[in-house]
Structure 1
Amino acid sequence: MPDWTRSHAARIAATAVHELEALVGISSPSGDRAGAERCVAVLTADLPAGALVERPACSTAGNADDLLIRVPGTGSRRIVLVGHVDTVISHELHQPLHPDPDVPGALRGSGTIDMKGGDVLALGVLRALAHDRRDELAEVALLLVTDEEWRTAPFAHAARFAGWDACLCFEAGELDADGRDAVVVRRKAAGTLEITATGVAAHSGARPDDGRNALLALAEAARVVAAHHDPAGPDRLTAVPTVLHSGEALNVVPAHGQLLCDVRADRLDAFDPVMAAIPREVGGATLVVRNLRAWPGMDAREPAAPVLARAGASLGRPIVPASRGGASDASHLATVIPLTIDGLGPLGGGAHAPDEHVLEDSLRSRAEVALAVADAVLRQQQPDAPGPGVG
């Protein structure tokens, strides 16, 4: 392992728990401006010399502005590091960082693995690249957004980074079945289908047949969606009804309702047949279908392969490619940066759950992986001249 990787991984590990404790100590559910601003204050408290701080508008109107930290250089390579500070955990259920009573060596707390642990590592990589002012580097930027978990608006930042050399995203890391460090180079496209039903209310005992049952219409829509579930098919499509709201009283035919369905596939276009198959009328109740949020898929297997091979050789242990079904902002940036590598965060588990945790030892081992990947990006051959930096 090169001295550069070893020494900076040690520096990151030395401060990571303290920084993670500060970040996880802040309750920052998506949409909470005060929590996001407190996270930004923590993340900007100890920046390298020459770092420039910007607050670009969040993709979601009304949210706290996102955070962009830039460190310019004199070389030709441009790398953007990506994370998010929002969580799905409410203020009432928030847990600060504390030792996990069930998992030895684990630190439990809200947002630890999704993805404040990754934010800490990303900040460490930024500091490492800035500390040595690598000759290859034209600019390294760290983009931390405040709305990743519940965003339905289009992602606002992709065009700004079009043509950059690499995007490194710090969602949770993983090991493969053989215990090797893995990073994510392929993700499914993701959508949230909303089906709303409008029927006619009627007394369910006195004159039920005068009503038009929105609940039954949504039940049929759920059946149709589930019938398209085909994870072993050509698009690896999963189609899962997940939330149903309908009915206001025991003795009233439901006149309104909403069904949400989670759909994922290799292509966004794979959702079109699912939406087209949902009937627009069932038993006199009308149905309206729309895709509330569409996240593109990513497939960086080809451009990432030589980088991972070089990084693994440098590190002295393999770094292998992995696929993941969950959505990530890496997918948005992969549409404009072919070399996009995700899953560079620490190891852990329990995302979105009370037992969410990171493995403390992985803060160093995964810092080594992230630094090795960043170093491999800087050392790869570049045939084209760089474009302008952000700004």
Structure 2
Amino acid sequence: MDASVQQAAAEIAARAERDLDALVAVSSPSGDAHGAEDCVAVVRALAPAGASFERLPCSSPAHADDLLVRLHGRGSGRVLLLGHLDTVVPHERHQPLTRVGERLVGSGSVDMKGGDVLALGVLRELARRPQLFAEVALLLVVDEEWRTGPLTHVARFAGWDACLCFEAGELAADGSDAVIVRRKAAGTLRVCADGVAAHAGAAPHKGRNALLALAAAAQAVAAAHAPDGPDRLTAVPTTLHSGGAFNVVPADGELHCDLRSDRTAAFEEVRERVPREVGGVGLETELTRVWPAMDARDASGPLLARAAALLGRPLTPSGRGGASDASHFAPAIPFTVDGLGPRGGLAHAPGEFVLTASLRPRAEVALALALAALDGGG
């Protein structure tokens, strides 16, 4: 391994637990402006000396501004580091960081404050090497978990040499370090039902049951599920809300379905499977969120090869079904690589954790990729 990568990664890992403790201590569910501002304050304290800070209007309304941390150097390369500060965990379920054996357990630890900590470590190391770059930027958004519209910052970074995203890391089947170069598109399908209420005991025949209609819609969506098909489509009904009393025919309701595919057009095809009427109940459908697919396998090959040479070990390109902001940047920055955060598990669930032993090797991977991208820039 390149000696400078080895030493710098060891320094990043040595302070990562302390930095992660500070960031996870802040409860920052998506949409909570106060939590986002507290996270921004922590990041400012952890950023390298000489960095400048810029607040960018968030892509989602009624959110705090996103944070851009910038370094200017004397070279020619430009690299974007990417992460998010928001979590899905509400304040009342927030868990501060605790060490449990080899796990660092806490809300948002692996998704993705652990990645943010490593990104800050890479930024601090690059600040020592200004001759390598014209600009390195760390973009931390506050709405990744619940954003429904487009990510508005993409055009600003179009044409940069690389985008490195710090969602959770993983190992390949052979035990080598994996990085994410392919992701499915993600969509959310909303189905609304308009029926007629009636007394469930005295006059059920006068009602039109929205719950039954939504159940039929859920079955129609689930019938499209084909993870082994040409589009690798998954179509999963996830929430259904209908009815307000045990003795009343439900007059309305709402169904949500999670869709993932290699083709965004497949989402519209699933939508068309939902009937417009079931048992006299009208059904209306809407795709409330569509995130693009990402496929950087070909473009990222040279970057991964240079990074592997610095690491002295293989880097395995891999894919993942979950959505990420990296997917938005990939069309504008061909060298887009994701999954550079620490390894862990139970994201979005109680007991979410980062594996302590993964901090150093993932810091090595992230730093090697950043240096490889800058070597290739200009």
Give me the TM-score of the superposition, normalised by structure 2. 0.98
1:142 matched to 2:143: no
Q: Residue 342 of structure 1 aligns with which residue?
A: 338
Residues 227-246 of structure 1: matches in 2 within 5 Å?
A: 227-246=223-242
Q: Residue 124 of structure 1 aligns with which residue?
A: 121
Mapped to 2, the partners of 1:373 and 1:242 lie a distance apart of 37
Write out per-residue CA displacement over residues 139-184 of structure 1, whole angstroms, 9 at most, x where no aligned residue. Answer: 1000001111111122111111111111000000000111110010
Q: Residue 162 of structure 1 aligns with which residue?
A: 158
Write out per-residue CA displacement over residues 210-260 of structure 1, whole angstroms, 9 at most, x where no aligned residue. Answer: 111111111110011000000011100000001000011111111000000
For 1:275, which of 245, 262, 271 is the aligned residue?
271
Mapped to 2, the partners of 1:154 and 1:334 lie a distance apart of 14
Amino acid of the structure 1 residue aligned with 2:59: S
Write out per-residue CA displacement over residues 107-142 of structure 1, whole angstroms, 9 at most, x where no aligned residue. Answer: 11111100000000001111111111133x111000
Q: Residue 67 of structure 1 aligns with which residue?
A: 67
Mapped to 2, the partners of 1:324 and 1:134 lie a distance apart of 35
Given that 2:342 and 2:354 are in contact with CA atoms closer than 8 Å, whether structure 1 keeps it comes out as yes
1:106 matched to 2:106: no
Mapped to 2, the partners of 1:310 and 1:233 lie a distance apart of 34
Given that 1:78 and 1:165 are in contact with CA atoms closer than 8 Å, whether structure 2 keeps it comes out as yes
Residues 1-391 of structure 1: matches in 2 within 5 Å?
A: 1-100=1-100, 104-135=101-132, 137-380=133-376, 382=378
Given that 1:304 and 1:340 are in contact with CA atoms closer than 8 Å, whether structure 2 keeps it comes out as yes
Moved more, 148-157 or 62-71: 148-157
Given that 1:112 and 1:356 are in contact with CA atoms closer than 8 Å, whether structure 2 keeps it comes out as yes
Amino acid of the structure 2 residue aligned with 1:113: V
Mapped to 2, the partners of 1:117 and 1:241 lie a distance apart of 30
Given that 2:115 and 2:342 are in contact with CA atoms closer than 8 Å, whether structure 1 keeps it comes out as yes
Over aligned residue pairs, what C-alpha RMSD do you find?
A: 1.1
Mapped to 2, the partners of 1:74 and 1:190 lie a distance apart of 39
Mapped to 1, the partners of 2:206 and 2:105 lie a distance apart of 54
Aligned length: 378
Partner SS state of residue 96, structure 1: coil
Shift of residue 208 of structure 1? 1.2
Given that 2:340 and 2:366 are in contact with CA atoms closer than 8 Å, whether structure 1 keeps it comes out as yes
Shift of residue 335 of structure 1? 2.1
Shift of residue 381 of structure 1? 6.4
Mapped to 2, the partners of 1:134 and 1:334 lie a distance apart of 26
Gaps of 5+ in 2: none
Partner SS state of residue 134, structure 1: helix
Partner SS state of residue 54, structure 1: strand
| Percent identity of paired positions between Structure 1 and Structure 2 | 64
Given that 1:204 and 1:251 are in contact with CA atoms closer than 8 Å, whether structure 2 keeps it comes out as yes
Mapped to 2, the partners of 1:216 and 1:65 lie a distance apart of 42
Given that 1:48 and 1:131 are in contact with CA atoms closer than 8 Å, whether structure 2 keeps it comes out as no
Given that 1:56 and 1:67 are in contact with CA atoms closer than 8 Å, whether structure 2 keeps it comes out as yes
Amino acid of the structure 1 residue aligned with 2:122: V
Given that 2:78 and 2:377 are in contact with CA atoms closer than 8 Å, whether structure 1 keeps it comes out as no
Partner SS state of residue 361, structure 1: helix
Give me the TM-score of the superposition, normalised by structure 1. 0.95
